[in-house]
Structure 1
Amino acid sequence: MPHLDLTADPVDLCAALVDVPSVSGDEAPLADALERALREQAPHLELLRSGQAVLARTNLGRERRVLLAGHIDTVPIADNLPSRRDGDLLYGCGTSDMKAGDAVIAHLAATVSDPRHDLTLVFYDCEEVEAARNGLGRIEREHADWLRADLAILGEPTNAGVEAGCQGTLRGEITTRGRRAHSARSWLGRNAVHAAAAVLDRLNTYGARTVDIDGCEYREGLQAVRIVGGVAGNVVPDECVVTVNFRFAPDRTAAAAEQHVREVFDGFEVAVTDLSPGALPGLTAPAAAEFIAATAATPSAKYGWTDVSRFAALGIPAVNYGPGDPNLAHTREEYVDTRQITEATAVLRRFLAR
C-alpha cells in the first residue's frame, strides 16, 4: 500500500496522490492509502469508510460545520502517469481534476487540529461516471448525517477562484414525424428532417436569460447538440430527432426548466432524457460570507454542473473552490500550476484555523 504523508508540502502530496492510479471504479488502493494516513496522522478525526469513499470529521461542538469534499477518481489514464514536474507545473492524470484539491483537503485535515468550525472531509468515488454510481449519492442514502453542514466547499478546479452554485442541465429529444416514401417519388411522402427546420428556427430565435443571483451572473443557453434522421440514401425519412441541451440558472427548479422547454417546443413531441437541478450560491449565509471574506475574491457563477447541486438540494450553501484549470480536465496534457495549490491551502487555512 502506498504511503501518504499528509503533513508534507501539499504540492508533494498532490504528486503522491496522482501516482496512485484511481480510474473510476478502481479507487480502492487510493482510498485504502487515504484511510490509513488519516488514522495514523489525524487522530483527532472520526473516520468512516463507505465503499471506496473515506470520510472524516471533528466533533468539537462548534457553532458551525464546514464540509470539504473532493472526488478521488479520474478518467482513464492517457499515457500521463506517473506525474512529472516542469518548473511550477505538475503534469499527470488527475492533477487538475481533482487531486490537487484532494491534496489541499487532506493536508488541512491532518494539520488543522483545532479549527474555528467543526469540519467534515469527504473523499468520494465514481464522480467521473454515470450519476447512479456517484459516491455522494450512496453516502446520502446510507450516512446522511455525515453530509450535514452550514457550508460545503467542493474542491473542483476553479483556478483558485470562487465559483458559486452551478447551472442546472436538461437534455431532451424533440421528434418530428413524417411518412416514408421513395425519394424518386418524394411527393408521396412527408419529410421528417425538413419538418425539423421549425425546431431549429425556434432555437435560432430563442432569447436566453441572464440572471443575477447573490452578485453572480448566470447565463442560460438552449442549444441543439445532435440531429439524427434518415434510414437510407433513397428514402424520404419518416422520423427526425433533435437533441437539445438546456443549461439553466439555479433560480429555476428542475420542474420549471422542463416546463419551459416544453413551452418553447409547444406543438412538438418532447421527451426529457436527463435532468439535474442547479445549485443556488447561497452566499448570504453566514458561513459562506465568512469564506468569501477569507478568500478576498469576487465570486463568479459556475458554468456547468457539479456536485454542489447535491449539497444545495440538502439546503446547504455550496461553492466550488480549488486549484487547477478546469479546461485541462480529462486531457492528455493535464497539469496543475503548483502555485495555486499553495495559494488554496493558505486561503483555506486562514478560513478554518483558529
Structure 2
Amino acid sequence: MWTEGGGPEAARELLRGAVAIPSVSGQEAAVAAYLQGWMAARGFQAQIDGAGNAVGVRGHGPLTVVLLGHMDTVPGDIPVREEGGVLYGRGAVDAKGPLCAFMAAVAALPDTALAAARFVVIGATEEEAPSSRGAHHAARTWQPDAVLIGEPSGWEGLTLGYKGRLVLRAQAECHNFHTAGEGQSAGDDLTEAWFRVRAWAAQAGEPGAVFGGVQATVQDLQAGTDGLTQRASGTFGLRLPPAVSPEAAEAAIRAALADLNTVSLTFVGHEHAVRHPRDNALTRALRVGIRAQGGTPVFKVKTGTSDMNVVAPHWPVPTLAYGPGDSALDHTPNEHLDLAEYDRAVAVLRAALEHLAAGAAPKAG
C-alpha cells in the first residue's frame, strides 16, 4: 500500500516530525526545512521559495494541481504525545495534518498519474497571521487548473467556502474629568461604538443565518488615563457572508459611527467571502476517493477564513478545502488528530488525485 512514497507508517512519521517542530507564524524556517527534506528524499523537486514556503513538485503532465496547506500555527505549547492512536500537539489539526496528508498522497502517486499532471504541494507561511504571506506569494507564482486547500474538514468533508473578514480597531479619546462630574468617558464612547457595530451586524446580510449573516465579536478592549487624557481602544472582528463585501461593511460602519467625534477608526484584514461550485472535476474526484474508503461525502461551508479567501481572486478554477481532523479543535488546548482518520484521508487524496489525473490524460487511439 502506498508503495511509491512508503506506507501509512511513513506518512505518520512525517506528521509526527512536523508537529514536533514549533512553527508559530513568522517562525516557520525549521519546519520548512524538515518538509523540504522529506519531499526531496521522495522524488519531489523541493525548495524553499521567496516567502519561506516549503514547495515540492512531482509530475510533468499538462494539468497543474496545487495543494496549498499551511505549516504555521497559533501560539500555545501543547506537549506532543501519542495516546491510543491519537496524536496531540499544536498544529496536528490546524493544519499540519492536512498538509502532511497532501505530501504523503502525492509521494504515493504512480507514474501514470505523474505523466498526466503536475502536483505542486505548498506548505505556506503566515496563514495564521493577517499577512497571509505564503498564500499571497503562491498566488503570484503559480497558475493551477485545480486547487486543494489544506484545512480540517473531517475525512468525509468537502469545504466549498469560507466567510470573509474585516477587523475594526477603534480608539476613543477625551479630556480627563472626575468620575462624579458630568460627561461621557472614553470608555462610554467606545462602548457606544461597539453597540452600533453590533446592531448593524445583526441586520446585515441574512439576519439569523449562520453562513449568510454577519458575525461580530469583541477581540480586545483596553482603557486608561494618564491623568490628563482618557483613552479607550477596542478591536472588533466581523465575519462577512458573500453578500456583504468588506468595503461595503466598512462604509456602513463609518456612516453609523460618523457622529462619534471622539472615536477614530482603522479597518484592516479586508478578506472577501468565497464559495465555490459543488460539481466539477475536482469535487467529483474527491467524492470518488471518499466513497472508495467507505465514506459518504458531505459538503460544508465555514464561518472562519483560510488561504482559500486569499487565492480565490487569483485562481478562478475548481477549488475546495480538505483534510483530516475536527476543526472545532483549532487553536484549542486539546488539539489532537486521530491517526486512523489521517491514514484514511491520505488514501482518499491518493485515489482522488489519480482519478483527476486520469481524466486529464490523453486518450489512446
What is the DSSP-based 3-state SS (H/G/I as helix, E as strand, rest coil) of the residue aligned with 2:41? helix
Distance 2:92 2:259 in 1: 47
Identify the residue that residue 348 of structure 1 maps to in structure 2: 349
- Structure 1 residues 252 and 93, CA gap change in structure 2 (3 angstroms): same
- Structure 1 residues 264 and 342, CA gap change in structure 2 (3 angstroms): farther
- Structure 1 residues 88 and 258, CA gap change in structure 2 (3 angstroms): same
Q: Is residue 336 of structure 1 aligned with residue 337 of structure 2?
A: yes
- Structure 1 residues 287 and 258, CA gap change in structure 2 (3 angstroms): farther
Residue 58 of structure 1: how far off its partner (Å): 4.3
What is the DSSP-based 3-state SS (H/G/I as helix, E as strand, rest coil) of the residue aligned with 1:159? coil
Residue 57 of structure 1: how far off its partner (Å): 2.7
Map 1:306-317; keep pairs closer than 5 Å.
306-316=306-316, 317=318
Identify the residue that residue 263 of structure 1 maps to in structure 2: 255
Judge which range, 323-332 or 334-343, deviates more.
Answer: 323-332
Map 1:229-308; keep pairs closer than 5 Å.
229-231=223-225, 239-268=231-260, 269-283=263-277, 286-291=280-285, 293-294=287-288, 295=290, 296-308=296-308
- Structure 1 residues 225 and 56, CA gap change in structure 2 (3 angstroms): closer
Judge which range, 64-73 or 16-25, deviates more.
Answer: 16-25
Judge which range, 268-277 or 337-346, deviates more.
Answer: 268-277
Judge which range, 327-336 or 307-316, deviates more.
Answer: 327-336
- Structure 1 residues 28 and 332, CA gap change in structure 2 (3 angstroms): same
What is the DSSP-based 3-state SS (H/G/I as helix, E as strand, rest coil) of the residue aligned with 1:158? coil
- Across the aligned residues of Structure 1 and Structure 2, the Cα RMSD in angstroms comes to 3.3
Query: Contact conserved, 1:66 with 1:120, CA < 8 A, in 2?
Result: yes
Superimposed CA distance per residue, residues 264-298 of structure 1 (whole angstroms, 9 cap, x where no aligned partner): 43433452342231341222573444246434523
Superimposed CA distance per residue, residues 149-199 of structure 1 (whole angstroms, 9 cap, x where no aligned partner): 133212122233222222221121345555532334x13x54343344543
| Partner of residue 171 from structure 1, selected from 167, 171, 193 | 167
Distance 2:85 2:149 in 1: 24
Query: Contact conserved, 1:190 with 1:236, CA < 8 A, in 2?
Result: no
Distance 1:41 1:100 in 2: 19
Identify the residue that residue 363 of structure 2 maps to in structure 1: none
Residue 240 of structure 1: how far off its partner (Å): 4.1
Identify the residue that residue 85 of structure 2 maps to in structure 1: 88
Map 1:202-217; keep pairs closer than 5 Å.
202-203=196-197, 205-206=199-200, 207-209=202-204, 217=211
Residue 73 of structure 1: how far off its partner (Å): 3.0
Query: Contact conserved, 1:165 with 1:278, CA < 8 A, in 2?
Result: no
Superimposed CA distance per residue, residues 121-168 of structure 1 (whole angstroms, 9 cap, x where no aligned partner): 112233344526x3233444xxx333x213321212223322222222
Residue type at the aligned position of 2:284: E
Residue type at the aligned position of 2:96: K
Residue type at the aligned position of 1:286: N
Identify the residue that residue 361 of structure 2 maps to in structure 1: none
Residue type at the aligned position of 2:131: A
Task: Show structure 2 runs of 5+ residues with no match.
Answer: 291-295, 359-365
Residue 312 of structure 1: how far off its partner (Å): 0.7
Residue 24 of structure 1: how far off its partner (Å): 4.1
TM (normalized to structure 2)?
0.77
Map 1:1-354; keep pairs closer than 5 Å.
6-9=5-8, 10-42=11-43, 45-51=44-50, 52-58=52-58, 60-62=60-62, 64-76=63-75, 78=77, 80-81=79-80, 84-113=81-110, 114-115=112-113, 117-131=117-131, 134-140=133-139, 144-146=140-142, 148-160=143-155, 161-176=157-172, 178-184=174-180, 186-187=181-182, 189-196=183-190, 198-203=192-197, 205-206=199-200, 207-209=202-204, 217-231=211-225, 239-268=231-260, 269-283=263-277, 286-291=280-285, 293-294=287-288, 295=290, 296-316=296-316, 317-353=318-354, 354=358
- Structure 1 residues 318 and 277, CA gap change in structure 2 (3 angstroms): farther
Superimposed CA distance per residue, residues 206-226 of structure 1 (whole angstroms, 9 cap, x where no aligned partner): 4244559xxx94432123444
Query: Contact conserved, 2:72 with 2:126, CA < 8 A, in 1?
Result: yes
- Structure 1 residues 198 and 96, CA gap change in structure 2 (3 angstroms): closer
- Structure 1 residues 182 and 308, CA gap change in structure 2 (3 angstroms): same
Residue 201 of structure 1: how far off its partner (Å): 4.1
What is the DSSP-based 3-state SS (H/G/I as helix, E as strand, rest coil) of the residue aligned with 1:182? coil
- Structure 1 residues 176 and 110, CA gap change in structure 2 (3 angstroms): closer
Alignment coverage as a number of residue pairs: 333
Distance 1:131 1:204 in 2: 26
- Structure 1 residues 138 and 305, CA gap change in structure 2 (3 angstroms): same
Residue 107 of structure 1: how far off its partner (Å): 0.9
Residue 303 of structure 1: how far off its partner (Å): 1.3
- Structure 1 residues 30 and 176, CA gap change in structure 2 (3 angstroms): closer
What is the DSSP-based 3-state SS (H/G/I as helix, E as strand, rest coil) of the residue aligned with 2:312? helix
Query: Contact conserved, 1:220 with 1:248, CA < 8 A, in 2?
Result: yes
Distance 1:28 1:6 in 2: 24
TM (normalized to structure 1)?
0.79
